[in-house]
Amino acid sequence: MRFLTGLQPSGQLHIGNYFGAIKPAVELQEKGEAFYFIANYHAMTTMESAEKLRDNTFGLAVDLLACGLDPQKAVFFAQSAVPEVNELAWILSTVCPMGLLERCHSYKDKMAHGFAATHALFAYPALMAADILLYDSDAVPVGKDQKQHLEVTRDLAGKINETFGAELFKLPEPLISEVTAVVPGLDGQKMSKSYGNTLPIFGEEKAMRKLINKKVVTDATPLEAPKPTENSIILALYKLFATPEQLQAMVDAHHAGGVGYGQFKKDLFEAYWEYFRTARERREWLLAHPDYVREVLTNGAAKAREEAAKTLTRIRTAVGLIWC
């Protein structure tokens, strides 16, 4: 079973990214062949600074390695290090109906948020399909909001198979966890950079302690009174980091009263800080050894290109681009 996951280098990672995408993806490296890529071509649809793109790409590589991605168990590379993906995207584009792209909600959403109506933004699903099909992926972890793009991938693979020969492409399956961690933002909305309500995975201790203390929204229940547990942001966040016993103890303390929200926020910080201790230590080492990070990406790209060449040769032959 071969899995593929791509993440855009969009800046500082937060715990919503970790529990929603990174942790589930890293766990797959123990279950089969795992391919991970940094989607820096995709990031160009919303990012115009070359320096920022370079910094974010390297930063994401560091953060993913710190969070447990193991280059001995997985193939890890930058999307732009495998130029074959662009040729495959073009081949897929030749069978891609305009209506299919026009129905994609990601394009409409980006337009609604003021992004320029570029061809790259519009054709994003074709490149995503190429990302997936280039490595003969069997399954792709996706959130419910990205399931549509995988359906586009299956549609385009099917069109190539129908037009040029059966079974040229596998039809990858979406891998949607039935138990998805619900990560609220510090204000109770969905955690999102656009809402300014995120809790970073990596940050300076004093700043993170202050962020939790000042930004996690609570009600005005006095110290001595029992605290409501339903829709509690503190409890929703705490259960991500705490043991079941620790969580139950905090729930009991809410019911009993006599403990203020300040103490609960302190407990939340301590659990959060301890949870990512190993990742922080690993990240410090990686930042001190940038050549190692570059070597990992270079080696991963070489392996990815080997697989990409097999697929592209098969497809180029089938569609007539190799004729002798």
CB within 8 A of 157, min separation 6: which ones?
129, 133, 168, 169, 170, 171, 172
Under 8 Å between Cβ of 46 and 6: no
Q: Which residues of the chain, if any, have pLDDT below 50?
A: 179
Biggest CA-to-CA distance, the chain: 83
Identify the pLDDT of residue 4.
95
With H, G, I as helix, E, B as strand and everything else as coil, classify residue 121. Answer: helix
What are the residues facing 33 on neighbouring strands?
2
153 C-beta neighbours (distance < 10 Å), count? 26
Of 23, 52, 159, 190, which is the active-site residue? 190
Residue with tokens 């656009």: 194
The span from the CA of 216 to the CA of 197, in Å, is: 9
212 φ/ψ angles, rounded to the nearest 5 degrees: -65, -45
Under 8 Å between Cβ of 250 and 235: yes
What digits encode the pLDDT tens for the residues 170-190?
999 988 765 455 689 999 998
Of 52, 193, 215, 266, which is the active-site residue? 193
The span from the CA of 148 to the CA of 174, in Å, is: 10
Identify the pLDDT of residue 144.
67
What digits encode the pLDDT tens for the residues 209-235?
999 999 999 999 999 999 999 999 999
The span from the CA of 209 to the CA of 266, in Å, is: 8
With H, G, I as helix, E, B as strand and everything else as coil, classify residue 129. Answer: helix
Query: Which tokens go with 265?
Result: 């926020």
State the average pLDDT for the chain.
93
With H, G, I as helix, E, B as strand and everything else as coil, classify residue 175. Answer: strand
Q: Does domain 203-275 have CATH number 1.10.240.10?
A: yes
110 counts as catalytic: yes
Which value, to the nearest 10 degrees, does the dihedral of the CA atoms of residues 121, 124, 126, 129 take? 180
For the chain, list the strands marked E by DSSP: 2-7, 33-38, 74-78, 139-141, 173-175
The span from the CA of 267 to the CA of 263, in Å, is: 6
144 C-beta neighbours (distance < 10 Å), count? 9
* Superfamily of chain region 2-182+290-319: HUPs (3.40.50.620)
Q: Is 253 exposed, middle or buried (0-12, 13-18, 19+ CB in 10 A)?
A: middle
265 counts as catalytic: no
For the chain, give every domain's residue range. Answer: 2-182+290-319, 203-275
How does DSSP classify residue 200? B
Taking each helix axis from N to C terminus, what angle separates 244-256 and 261-275, rounded to the nearest 10 degrees?
170
The span from the CA of 296 to the CA of 321, in Å, is: 33
Strands 173-175 and 2-7: unpaired
The span from the CA of 12 to the CA of 18, in Å, is: 11
Say if 2-182+290-319 and 203-275 have the same CATH topology: no
